[in-house]
């Protein structure tokens, strides 16, 4: 049987502008350089690693990949061959043919450049057309307005808001906004994303 695990084993995905490869410990230095572009760890509503948290961030991602619940990538800009951020499949549920897409961040100089559109296009295409998912979920902090707008631009529909969804490290509560794209939506979303990418 061809499982999600088999189809995600050593997966690399390549587009016109970016290449996605499995996250490894060897990417630590380049990820910190990317995160320093904009001091992204200072955005309180995101979980971008800093020098203090990078080891835990990478180790936890790799452990979850080994368990089959996540598949973390680094995002490489093909033009410069530099790591510019990261993204991942997570909450992978083969029995329900669904997963979430998140933990996505990019160096500030690569934000609003079309990079995210291509990354999501590649990941959605693989999820729906190779893994045969029936839904792909995306979630972000209620206060992360740039992320919410970016998700909406992709064609995802808002499912709702999870109140007091998580406890932040400072003891405050996080409300999470949930979006999704279903396999029925995919044909139209794909057409729209391709138009944005190749117009």
- How much is the pLDDT for 147? 87
Q: What is the DSSP string of 21-33?
A: EE--GGGHHHHHH
What are the residue ranges of helices labelled H in 104-182? 115-129, 145-154
Q: Please name the helix (run of DSSP H) or strand (run of DSSP E) that holds residue 174, with its range, or none.
A: strand 173-182
Predicted pLDDT of residue 5:
87
**What pLDDT score does 44 carry?**
54
Low-confidence residues of the chain, pLDDT below 70? 1, 38, 40-46
pLDDT in the model for residue 50: 81
The pLDDT assigned to 112 comes to 77
What pLDDT is stored for residue 170 in this prediction? Answer: 80
3-state secondary structure of 155: coil
Global confidence as pTM? 0.92
What total number of domains does the chain contain? Answer: 1
Instruction: Give pLDDT, residue 3.
Output: 87
At 158, is the secondary structure helix, strand, or coil? strand
pLDDT per residue over 140-151, tens digit each?
999 889 889 989
The domain in which residue 66 lies consists of 4-198
How far is residue 103's CA from residue 106's CA, in Å, rounded to a whole number? 10
- How many other CB atoms are found less than 10 A from the CB of residue 182? 16
For residues 136 and 122, the answer to whether their CB atoms sit within 8 Å is no
Alpha-carbon gap, residue 34 to 82, rounded angstroms: 9
pLDDT tens readout for residues 88-129: 999 999 999 999 999 999 998 988 788 999 999 999 999 999
Q: How does DSSP assign 58-118, residue by residue?
A: HHHHHHHHHHTS-EEEEEEETTTTEEEEEEEEEEEEGGGTEEEEEEEEE-GGGTTSSHHHH
* CATH number of the domain residue 23 falls in: 3.40.630.30
Maximal C-alpha separation, the chain: 45
């Amino acid at each position: 049987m061809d499982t999600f695990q088999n189809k995600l084993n050593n997966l690399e995905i390549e587009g016109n502008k970016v290449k996605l490869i499995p996250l490894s410990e060897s990417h630590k230095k380049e990820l910190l350089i990317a995160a320093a572009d904009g001091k992204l760890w200072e955005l309180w509503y995101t979980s971008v690693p800093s020098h203090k948290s990078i080891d835990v961030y990478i180790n936890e991602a790799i452990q979850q990949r080994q368990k089959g619940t996540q598949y973390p990538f680094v995002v490489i800009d093909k033009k410069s061959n530099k790591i510019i951020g990261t993204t991942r499949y997570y909450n992978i549920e083969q029995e329900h043919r669904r997963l979430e897409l998140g933990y996505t961040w990019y160096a500030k100089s690569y934000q609003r450049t079309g990079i995210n559109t291509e990354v999501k296009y590649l990941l959605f295409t693989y999820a729906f057309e190779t893994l045969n998912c029936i839904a792909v979920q995306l979630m972000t902090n209620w206060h992360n307005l740039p992320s919410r707008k970016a998700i909406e631009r992709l064609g995802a529909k808002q499912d709702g808001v999870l109140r007091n969804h998580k406890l932040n490290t400072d003891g405050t509560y996080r409300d999470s906004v949930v979006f999704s794209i279903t396999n029925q939506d995919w044909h139209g979303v794909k057409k729209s994303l391709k138009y944005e990418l190749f117009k």
